[in-house]
Amino acid sequence: MDREEEEEVLVLNQPLLPEPSTGNSTPEDLPRKSLPSRVWIETKKLWRIVGPAIVSRLAGYTMTVITQAFAGHLGDNELAAFSIVNNVILGFSFGLLLGMASALETLCGQAFGAKRYPMLGIYLQRSWIVLFICCVVLSPVYIYASPILKLIGQTDEVAELSEVVSLWILPMHFSYAIMFPLQRFLQSQLKNFVTLWMSVVVLVFHALISWIFVYVLDFGLVGAAVTLDISWWLLCFMMLVYVTCGWCPLSWAGLSMEAFSGLWEFVKLSAASGVMLCLEFWYYRVLILMTGFLSDATLAVDALSVCMTVNGWELMIHLGFLAGVGVRVANELGAGNGPGAKFATKVAVAESSFISLFFCVLIIALHDKFAYIFTSSTTVLQAVDHLSYLLAVTILLNGVQPVLSGVAVGSGWQAWVAYVNLFCYYIVGLPLGIVLAWVADYGVLGLWSGMILGGTLIQTVILAIITARRDWENEALTAGRRVKKWSTPDNQTEG
């Protein structure tokens, strides 16, 4: 163990070298250690990625929560308008762009494990090109938010307020094209603490300017939206400076025309990643949209938006696990270590599930109190209380489903997971929710419960079965072939 600890210290001091697992934990080494020792070693490797990823994602999401809280105290219509923009308009592009950027988790993670460092910068530039084009294509959704929302059943007042917010928040939408690839580029090199501290600094800054814009300068809902633009672009600029000004010397060699070569293959992998994750993100956005067709739609949207915001807040923890297990699995497969990838999956699922169980119990205990964060309206508080147990079940499922998606990202299975998501969410879950809401007349309670039982639960079970039955030795061979396919001779640096 003394030699192993010395090797761990060397790795921590050399962040651009592979993780200990890629150099130390060979398939032959694993059976020689006791199970508690293997779990502890894997936990340290995993949390080196997961810990900073959770903090940075919580910080980013909390900026939106802060803005929603300020909007909620301006009035119920303002809360509904910002919630719809956040959960539907912004959520629509967020899910797709985040998913498309996750292609870098597969490519950069496996290239890093195989020591093909120069290719990381090329992948980053390709992702910028693809995501920026996607942002341009999605812009009309923001520009024509009011007629779109009216078409799907939102009230005129809420739809028009939502359009005002969506227009002012459009610059934030374009920041995603730069931000998401940068996050994954740094994450794959184990530079998570950089994004952690930047995110915390920007979070504090965001809280301050939100108070100034909304209350001191009295800019109202527009001021709340503008603070998000400023904060996200500040974070984006800080990360861009870090990457391009010498702190990533092995993986960033400047802009290159090679970013335009092999672009179509990159687009296909990005599209598969985008469809896989956006089908998950859109699922609960569809839930909010469908709620607009229920009686007393404003109250239902307010209550459900509060629940979805809390769920999204807690989900950031498990998205940290998604990132962590994605990097761990990709690194191990890139290094040819199938058993290491399998063991990393087991540890991540177990630890994420324990955390989700804790928050599930917490929500049940505070079922009639947690909504005070967002509103002081008695009717909204009562409606949230009525939905709190469904929120607890959703949080419990968060502990497994995102981790399995992370395994898929790290392994490059995005395309077939997209088919699983499409079937479970939109062919089974959504129709079941509609039947329970309108045919059985259970309203928003029936809609949400049907989508959980018919969609999320079934999808989680299917992914768990498929993951458990994978041939991990073959996955390692597949990863090796992928690294060779995507690397050019000039960019292959043997470690």
How large is the angle between the packed helices 263-291 and 414-421, nearest 10 degrees?
20
pLDDT tier at 29 (50, 70, 90 boundaries)?
A: low
Written as six digits, the tokens of 476 are 């390692």
By the 8 A CB rule, do 437 and 286 touch?
no
By the 8 A CB rule, do 466 and 475 touch?
no
Written as six digits, the tokens of 295 are 């009686």
The residue-averaged pLDDT of 52-58 equals 85
- Among 80-94, 134-148, 321-335, which is the least confidently predicted range? 80-94
- pLDDT given at position 82: 83
pLDDT tier at 99 (50, 70, 90 boundaries)?
A: confident
Q: What percent of the chain has pLDDT over 70?
A: 90
pLDDT tier at 359 (50, 70, 90 boundaries)?
A: very high
How far is it, in rounded angstroms, from Cα 218 to Cα 216? Answer: 6
Read off the pTM: 0.75
pLDDT tens readout for residues 242-279: 999 988 888 888 888 887 877 777 787 778 777 777 77
How far is it, in rounded angstroms, from Cα 98 to Cα 135? Answer: 12
Q: SS in 3 state form for the chain?
A: CHHHHHHHHHHHHCCCCCCHHHHCCCCCCHHHCCHHHHHHHHHHHHHHHHHHHHHHHHHHHHHHHHHHHHHHCCCHHHHHHHHHHHHHHHHHHHHHHHHHHCHHHHHHHHHHHCCCCCHHHHHHHHHHHHHHHHHHHHHHHHHCHHHHHHHCCCCHHHHHHHHHHHHHCHHHHHHHHHHHHHHHHHHHCCCHHHHHHHHHHHHHHHHHHHHHHHHHCCCHHHHHHHHHHHHHHHHHHHHHHHHHCCCCCCCCCCCCHHHHCCHHHHHHHHHHHHHHHHHHHHHHHHHHHHHCCCCCHHHHHHHHHHHHHHHHHHHHHHHHHHHHHHHHHHHHHHCCCHHHHHHHHHHHHHHHHHHHHHHHHHHHHCCCCHHHHCCCCHHHHHHHHHHHHHHHHHHHHHCCHHHHHHHHHHHCCHHHHHHHHHHHHHHHHHHHHHHHHHHCCCHHHHHHHHHHHHHHHHHHHHHHHHHHCCCHHHHHHHHHHHHHHHCCHHHCCCC
- Is pLDDT of 51 > 90? no
Angle at 277 between CA 275 and CA 282, to 5 degrees: 90
- pLDDT given at position 150: 82
- Is pLDDT of 77 > 80? no
- pLDDT given at position 137: 92
- pLDDT given at position 335: 79
- pLDDT given at position 253: 82
**Encoded amino acid at 454, one letter:** G
How far is it, in rounded angstroms, from Cα 105 to Cα 109? Answer: 5
- Is pLDDT of 2 > 70? no
- pLDDT given at position 178: 93
How far is it, in rounded angstroms, from Cα 129 to Cα 252? Answer: 16
- Among 56-65, 97-106, 292-301, 426-435, which is the least confidently predicted range? 292-301
**Encoded amino acid at 203, one letter:** L
- Cα Rg for the chain, rounded, in angstroms? 22
Sign of CA dihedral 368, 370, 376, 381: negative
- pLDDT given at position 190: 79
- pLDDT given at position 273: 75
pLDDT tens readout for residues 140-197: 989 988 888 888 767 778 888 888 888 999 999 999 999 999 988 988 887 878 888 8
pLDDT tens readout for residues 334-357: 778 888 888 999 999 999 999 999
Residue predicted with more confidence, 13 or 146: 146
The residue-averaged pLDDT of 464-479 equals 84
pLDDT tier at 487 (50, 70, 90 boundaries)?
A: low
Block residue for tokens 């041939």: 471
pLDDT tier at 63 (50, 70, 90 boundaries)?
A: confident
Written as six digits, the tokens of 398 are 């968060």
- Is pLDDT of 215 > 50? yes
Block residue for tokens 């629940």: 307
Written as six digits, the tokens of 423 are 């079937």
The set of long-range contacts for 14-17, using a CB threshold of 8 Å and a minimum separation of 24, is: 15/189, 15/190, 15/191, 16/117, 16/189, 16/248, 16/249, 16/250, 16/251, 17/495
Task: Find the distance separating the first CA and the last CA of the chain, reported in whole Å.
Answer: 25
CA distances from 236 to 134, 180, 245 (A): 18, 9, 14
- pLDDT given at position 276: 76
Block residue for tokens 């324990």: 354
- pLDDT given at position 337: 85
How far is it, in rounded angstroms, from Cα 334 to Cα 120? Answer: 13
The residue-averaged pLDDT of 197-201 equals 91
